[in-house]
């Protein structure tokens, strides 16, 4: 591995604070999830149901999206289609300009991270404030989220205390998490009052009723979508589900997998803007349906299950690589196993294919996935495709595997090579540096199993040629 | 053991790692199979299952090697025993997917997959548990490989077999379900991450204080053992088959 990814990995591994923050947090989240799914049969049943709902939705994506659009329009929600991030950003901008908005408050949304909405609005002199506590912390430090559920998980309490002191000039008692949250709350309350527009993501969009579901714990999602006069929701087109009957299964799988909670503090179901006889709620609700490469994935039989993802983060919590290097090292909006399969599909294998190397195919992510996405198999498939398309960077490796193939294709040559290795077993041959930095070189046996079995079959005539 | 003509036969796929580096594990696998009443056929034309290129993104060489391996082990319709959960997983779960669906090769692959077994899983209920020799108590550490835990789902059987033995205390490392950092070419391609994973795993394994570190995958054992040696420590790794042979007091001709 070369390049920036490898540099970022080395930097992450060399940071003991970062490593212990991630190890601690991932162990904690894994345990919580395990307790939430203590009944193995229930887990299997829920997983099967959830996987079926998601697969079915991806198979019927065009119809469901048309239905969703129609139902939203019937409910008074304005619907916009965006082919890519640029289109989505411009739609948000034009709505903001219509309302002469200068301040936007945002609930947690990975889709807005994907299209880099904050930066875009900033360039047009519109301030976009994150209202999720983790996102707020990350934004304050000019960083990106390092986890899709816990954006600031790479920081511990002491680091956040220091950050608040430095950036906000407010000091809080050491280790006092409640005081830190209090600071955030006080600042953000004012922003909720002042913001002309609230932006949110969407966890699930119910096609047959035109309802947007938002799963959250802090209440900032509810405030972002109800306090400002205009609400804009941005969703990847794969988030659609057929009906409300599908929701309980997915909600259970999502919250238990993400945080080990049976239900979150808030489950928002948004079905329309404020109605004439209502006292509160936004006067306008907009839904932006973002493609950004998803439609193409949905048509690829081998890879379409990528879109089943409900963004719970369990795959990264269970990934031994993510646990070691954290989210920033991946350099992509979505880190960990789901990011490793999604990013190269959204941005191209040539550009992002390297992400696929950082996986030992241990299978822990696939085992934890609540909608049964076979993540290791998708990583393997994408590695195959990368090799087939990207001949430039992989040429040396291609050569190695060509030689490997020639040896293993011919049993006699293979046996000869094994004997040769045995013959020179006492020579201290130089192992590949990448192996020998932390390991000694395995020594070939004096007599291979093949040789010993040959002798054995001669004396016993029990073997075969 | 006498070679009665009616004795049931099995194939052994020794794996390339065992062939070159750990032949004793292969011989011990054979001893256990013979103890369980099987005649073992070891075709000399076997090489590798093709997993290394397959997992590294090189499907074509893997496909050709798979084809060759399937043919080799399809002369007789008998079980194929693999003393490695990882290589067994390649044959059982990936061979059927590697070829075009419904092709003749895919069908042959499926047939072979059905009669492919990981060694310990295959002999688990055939070992002479009621004839256990007397042993002083011993504590051993089990490393459940990722392939045994997940793809092949045989780690439970490994535990059951060890728990049936007298005076054996089986201990497990912290984060027992976590990868040891080997992952085939991952250990070289993503060497920095692999090194850290290996160090953590080895520390957790040593903390258990078991006399041996046992596993049914020589890939993991090589990674763990060579790292411990690098650290100037003793290599306590042993294939489960070798431990069982020692436990049951079997000997084999060299």
Assess whether B78 and B159 both reside in one domain.
no
Determine, yes or no, domain membership for B202.
yes
Q: How confident is the model at residue A231 (pLDDT cuts 50, 70, 90)?
A: very high
Nearest to A448 among B23, B182, B186 (CB): B23
Q: Is there a contact between B193 and A321 if contact means CB atoms under 8 Å apart?
A: yes
SS3 content of chain A, % helix, strand, coil (to 5): 55, 10, 35
Whether chain B has a CB inside 8 Å of the CB on A326: the answer is no
Assess whether B48 and B145 both reside in one domain.
no
Nearest to A439 among B39, B52, B226 (CB): B226
Nearest to A444 among B20, B40, B61 (CB): B20
Q: Which chain A residue's Cα is nearest to B5? A: A462
pLDDT of residue B29: 98
| Residue A15 CB burial class (10 angstroms; 0-12, 13-18, ≥19) | middle
- Cβ-based contacts of A397 with chain B (< 8 Å): 56, 58
**Domain end: B58, B89, B123, which one?**
B123
pLDDT of residue A459: 78
- Cβ-based contacts of A31 with chain B (< 8 Å): none
Nearest to A409 among B3, B23, B64 (CB): B64
- The CATH number assigned to the domain holding B185 equals 3.40.50.11810
Nearest to B19 among A435, A443, A450 (CB): A450
Q: Is there a contact between B50 and A457 if contact means CB atoms under 8 Å apart?
A: no
Q: What is the mean pLDDT of chain A?
A: 95
pLDDT of residue B253: 46
Does residue A461 have a pLDDT over 80?
no
Whether chain A has a CB inside 8 Å of the CB on B86: the answer is no
Assess whether B44 and B138 both reside in one domain.
no
- Cβ-based contacts of A411 with chain B (< 8 Å): 44-47
Q: What is the mean pLDDT of chain B?
A: 95
Helix axes B218-230, B191-207, angle to 10 degrees: 90
Could you list the residue range(s) of the whole structural domain that residue B139 is in? Answer: 131-247
Does residue A202 have a pLDDT over 90?
yes
- Cβ-based contacts of B233 with chain A (< 8 Å): none
> Tokens standing for B1?
């053991």
Closest Cα in chain A, distance from residue B69 (Å): 10
Does residue A465 have a pLDDT over 60?
no
Assess whether B119 and B137 both reside in one domain.
no
pLDDT of residue A464: 44
CA end-to-end span of chain A: 42
pLDDT of residue A396: 83
Centroid of chain to Cα A255: 15
Average pLDDT on B133-162 reads 96
Assess whether B137 and B235 both reside in one domain.
yes
- As beta bridge partners, residue A289 has A81, A235
Q: Check residues B85 and A435 and name the one with the higher pLDDT.
A: B85
Average pLDDT on A93-119 reads 97
Q: For residue A185, which of A243, A251, A146, A132 has the smallest C-alpha distance?
A: A132
Closest Cα in chain B, distance from residue A2 (Å): 9
Whether chain B has a CB inside 8 Å of the CB on A431: the answer is no
Does residue A292 have a pLDDT over 90?
yes
Q: Which chain A residue's Cα is nearest to B219? A: A442
Assess whether B75 and B147 both reside in one domain.
no
- The correct answer on CATH 3.30.2130.10 for the domain covering A43-296 is no
- The CATH number assigned to the domain holding B36 equals 3.40.50
Q: What percent of chain A is predicted at pLDDT more than 70?
A: 96
pLDDT of residue B251: 65
Q: What is the dihedral of CA B42, B45, B51, B53, to 10 degrees?
A: 160
Assess whether B144 and B75 both reside in one domain.
no
- Cβ-based contacts of A462 with chain B (< 8 Å): 3, 39-40
Q: Is there a contact between A363 and B151 if contact means CB atoms under 8 Å apart?
A: yes
Does residue A357 have a pLDDT over 70?
yes
pLDDT digits 0-9 by tens, B44-87: 999 999 999 999 999 999 999 999 999 999 999 999 999 999 99
As a whole number of angstroms, the distance between CA A377 and CA B93 comes to 11
Question: Per DSSP, which regions of A185-306 are E strands?
Answer: 197-200, 204-206, 211-216, 230-236, 240-241, 266-270, 284-290
Assess whether B146 and B94 both reside in one domain.
no
Whether chain A has a CB inside 8 Å of the CB on B150: the answer is yes
Q: Which residues contact B105 (CB under 8 A, 6 or more apart)?
A: B67, B70, B99
How many C-beta atoms surround the C-beta of residue A26 within 10 A? 23
Does residue A2 have a pLDDT over 70?
no
Total number of domains constituting chain B: 2
Average pLDDT on B226-241 reads 97
Q: How confident is the model at residue B5 (pLDDT cuts 50, 70, 90)?
A: low
Q: Is there a contact between A438 and B190 if contact means CB atoms under 8 Å apart?
A: no
- Cβ-based contacts of B254 with chain A (< 8 Å): 452
DSSP B18-37: HHHT-HHHHHHHHHHHHHTT
Determine, yes or no, domain membership for B253.
no
Whether chain B has a CB inside 8 Å of the CB on A448: the answer is yes
Determine, yes or no, domain membership for B101.
yes
Judge contact between A432 and B72, C-beta under 8 A: no
Question: CATH 3.40.50.10420 residue ranges in chain A?
Answer: 43-296
Assess whether B114 and B195 both reside in one domain.
no
**The Cα angle at residue B58 between residues A346 and A342, in degrees rounded to 5:** 15
pLDDT digits 0-9 by tens, B175-210: 999 999 999 999 999 999 999 999 999 999 999 999
Assess whether B163 and B67 both reside in one domain.
no
- Cβ-based contacts of B223 with chain A (< 8 Å): 439
Whether chain B has a CB inside 8 Å of the CB on A405: the answer is yes
Whether chain A has a CB inside 8 Å of the CB on B63: the answer is no
Determine, yes or no, domain membership for B93.
yes
Nearest to A440 among B24, B50, B230 (CB): B230
Does residue A385 have a pLDDT over 90?
yes
Whether chain A has a CB inside 8 Å of the CB on B222: the answer is yes
As a whole number of angstroms, the distance between CA A465 and CA A395 comes to 37
Average pLDDT on A392-410 reads 87
Assess whether B149 and B182 both reside in one domain.
yes
Q: For residue B219, which of B87, B31, B124, B46 has the smallest C-alpha distance?
A: B87
Assess whether B185 and B150 both reside in one domain.
yes
Nearest to B53 among A27, A401, A462 (CB): A401
Residues 4 through 23 of chain A touching chain B, CB cutoff 8 Å: 6, 9-10, 13
């Amino acid at each position: 591995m070369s390049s920036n990814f490898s540099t970022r990995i080395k930097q992450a591994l060399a940071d003991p604070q970062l490593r212990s923050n991630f190890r601690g947090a991932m162990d904690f989240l894994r345990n919580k999830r395990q307790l939430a799914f203590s009944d193995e049969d229930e887990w299997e049943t829920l997983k099967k149901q959830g996987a079926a709902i998601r697969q079915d939705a991806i198979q019927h994506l065009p119809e469901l999206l048309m239905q969703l659009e129609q139902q939203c329009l019937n409910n008074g929600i304005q619907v916009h289609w965006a082919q890519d991030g640029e289109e989505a950003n411009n739609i948000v901008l034009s709505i903001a300009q219509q309302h002469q908005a200068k301040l936007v408050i945002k609930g947690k949304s990975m889709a807005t991270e994907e299209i880099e909405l904050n930066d875009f609005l900033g360039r047009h002199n519109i301030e976009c404030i994150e209202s999720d506590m983790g996102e707020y912390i990350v934004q304050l430090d000019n960083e990106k989220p390092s986890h899709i559920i816990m954006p600031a998980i790479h920081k511990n309490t002491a680091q956040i205390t220091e950050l608040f002191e430095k950036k906000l000039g407010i000091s809080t008692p050491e280790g006092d998490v409640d005081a830190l949250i209090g600071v955030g709350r006080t600042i953000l309350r004012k922003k909720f009052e002042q913001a002309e527009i609230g932006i949110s993501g969407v966890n699930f969009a119910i096609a047959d009723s035109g309802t947007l579901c938002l799963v959250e714990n802090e209440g900032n999602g509810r405030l972002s979508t109800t306090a400002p006069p205009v609400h804009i929701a941005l969703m990847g087109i794969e988030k659609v589900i057929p009906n409300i009957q599908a929701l309980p299964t997915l909600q259970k799988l999502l919250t238990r997998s993400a945080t080990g909670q049976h239900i979150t503090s808030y489950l928002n179901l948004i079905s329309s803007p404020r109605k004439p006889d209502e006292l509160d709620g936004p006067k306008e609700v907009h839904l932006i349906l973002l493609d950004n490469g998803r439609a193409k994935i949905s048509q690829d039989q081998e890879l379409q299950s990528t879109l089943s993802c409900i963004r719970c983060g369990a795959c990264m919590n269970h990934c031994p690589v993510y646990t070691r290097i954290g989210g920033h090292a991946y350099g992509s909006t979505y880190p960990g196993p789901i990011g490793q399969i999604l990013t190269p599909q959204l941005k191209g294998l040539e550009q992002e294919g390297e992400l696929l190397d950082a996986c030992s195919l241990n299978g822990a992510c696939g085992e934890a996935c609540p909608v049964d996405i076979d993540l290791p198999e998708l990583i393997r498939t994408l590695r195959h495709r990368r090799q087939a398309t990207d001949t430039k960077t992989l040429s040396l490796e291609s050569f190695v595997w060509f030689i490997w193939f020639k040896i293993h294709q011919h049993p006699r040559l293979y046996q000869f090579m094994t004997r040769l290795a045995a013959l020179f077993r006492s020579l201290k041959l130089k192992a590949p540096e990448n192996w020998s930095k932390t390991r000694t070189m395995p020594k070939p046996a004096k007599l291979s199993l093949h040789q010993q079995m040959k002798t054995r079959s001669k004396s016993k005539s029990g073997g075969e040629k | 053991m006498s070679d009665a003509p009616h004795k049931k036969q099995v194939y052994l796929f020794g794996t390339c790692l065992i062939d070159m580096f750990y032949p004793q594990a292969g011989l011990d696998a054979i001893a256990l199979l013979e103890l369980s009443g099987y005649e073992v056929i070891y075709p000399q034309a076997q090489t590798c299952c093709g997993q290394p290129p397959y997992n590294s993104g090189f499907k074509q060489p893997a496909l050709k090697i798979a084809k060759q391996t399937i043919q080799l082990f399809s002369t007789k319709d008998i079980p194929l025993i693999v003393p490695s959960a990882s290589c067994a997983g390649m044959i059982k779960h990936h061979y059927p997917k590697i070829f075009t669906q419904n092709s003749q090769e895919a069908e042959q692959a499926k047939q072979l997959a059905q009669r492919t077994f990981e060694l310990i899983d295959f002999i688990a209920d055939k070992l002479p548990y009621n004839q256990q020799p007397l042993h002083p108590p011993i504590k051993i550490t089990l490393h459940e490989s990722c392939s045994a835990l997940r793809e092949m789902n045989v780690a439970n059987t490994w535990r059951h077999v060890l728990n049936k033995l007298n005076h054996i205390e089986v201990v497990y490392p912290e984060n027992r379900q976590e990868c040891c950092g080997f992952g085939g070419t991952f250990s070289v391609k993503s060497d920095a991450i692999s090194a850290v994973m290996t160090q953590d795993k080895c520390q957790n394994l040593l903390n258990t204080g078991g006399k041996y570190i046992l596993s049914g995958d020589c890939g993991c054992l090589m990674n763990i053992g060579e790292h411990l040696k690098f650290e100037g420590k003793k290599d306590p790794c042993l294939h489960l088959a070798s431990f069982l042979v020692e436990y049951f007091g079997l000997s084999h001709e060299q």
